[in-house]
Amino acid sequence: MRVDLFDFDLPSERIALRPASPRDSARMLVVDPIGLQDRHVSDLPDLLRPGDCLVFNDTRVIPAQLEGQRGDARIGATLHKRTGLRQWQAFIRNARRVREGDRIDFGEGVTAIAGARTDDGTVTLEFEGNEPVEVLLERAGRMPLPPYIASKRPADRRDRDDYQTMFAREKGAVAAPTAALHFTPQLVERLAARGILSETLTLHVGAGTFLPVKADDTADHLMHAEWGRIDHAAAERLNGVRSRGGRIIPVGTTSLRLLESATDENGIIGSFEGDTRIFITPGYRFRATDGLMTNFHLPRSTLFMLVSALMGREKMLTAYRHAIDAEYRFYSYGDASLLLPD
């Protein structure tokens, strides 16, 4: 499909630079067969049915943004995907000044050796020393805010909490599963009291989620791989939800993509551990997904293509026009949508 079919105009003032407080006070646009409803995240228990199951991503964002020196050259690195005990693929700023074998000094006693450039444009960094890489990043790294926020303000101490969900447990993401940022312990308690179930899986979100689609046709776009895991017990519980007539509603596109990667053609969810490059565009037949809670996405992005596949491109363009006119807040720190297809 042509990528320009997924384009729309978004005023820059619609991009949220801070999250709503409290988190569940964010607005939420409900898109269902009836039409559009303006609600709030705190209304979620009234919008779902007992027996439905929300699926959360328990990945934890690491401080994966690094600034360093290679000789007299300033080098920026955003870690993308772990490939070994001390190796990470990274997107490099000022990459033309980095050659294979160069040592980059990120300060605070943190150094890495640059490896070969990969087909997707990333560079492998091998961190030196004996300390765990996670310890090094806590010392020298910063939270990797999305570029549309980082271009307007630097990351600060507040982001260490704001850009982490209440479910964050498994370290390894370089971007937050942002739909889950709206949840609070109080909201989760209300959902449980209503008989709405919850489940967790792990998908370590990579920096590739922010990359624009540069191809003119979706068939020519290369998705970056991300590592995920669903254990056997969780898969069986989710299959049980379906067998009892409940709906599986991922919270965030990351949860959805992993669920779809783990589900066979008969709609049976299996255990999964490994990389996924799944790219969902209109025409895709969903296997595990009965709805989706997600934030508002960038024009021409793979994520807007995904929600268009679930709900229909024209319906989502209409919903986004409404959200812009009604002054919803967009992107990672923005408001939410609840998408319930026919």
Per-residue pLDDT tens, the chain, 342 aa: give them: 999 999 999 999 999 999 999 999 999 999 999 999 999 999 999 999 999 999 999 999 999 999 999 999 999 999 988 999 999 999 999 988 999 999 999 999 999 999 988 877 889 999 999 999 999 999 999 998 888 898 999 889 899 999 999 999 999 999 999 999 999 999 999 999 999 999 999 999 987 776 778 899 999 988 888 999 999 999 999 999 999 999 999 999 999 999 999 999 999 999 999 999 999 999 999 999 999 999 999 999 999 999 999 999 999 999 999 999 999 999 999 999 999 998
Nearest of 32, 31, 28 to residue 42 by alpha carbon = 28
Percentages (nearest 5) of helix, strand, coil residues in the chain:
30, 30, 40
CA distance 70 to 25: 45
CATH superfamily name and code, 3-61+161-339: QueA-like (3.40.1780.10)
Same fold for the pair 3-61+161-339 and 65-141:
no
Separation of alpha carbons 155 and 137, rounded Å = 15
Q: How far is CA 83 from CA 86, 102, 214, 318, in A?
A: 8, 19, 25, 41
pTM: 0.93
172's CB contacts (< 8 A; 6+ apart) are 59, 60, 62, 82, 202, 204, 227
CATH superfamily for domain 65-141: QueA-like (2.40.10.240)
- Annotated domain spans of the chain: 3-61+161-339, 65-141
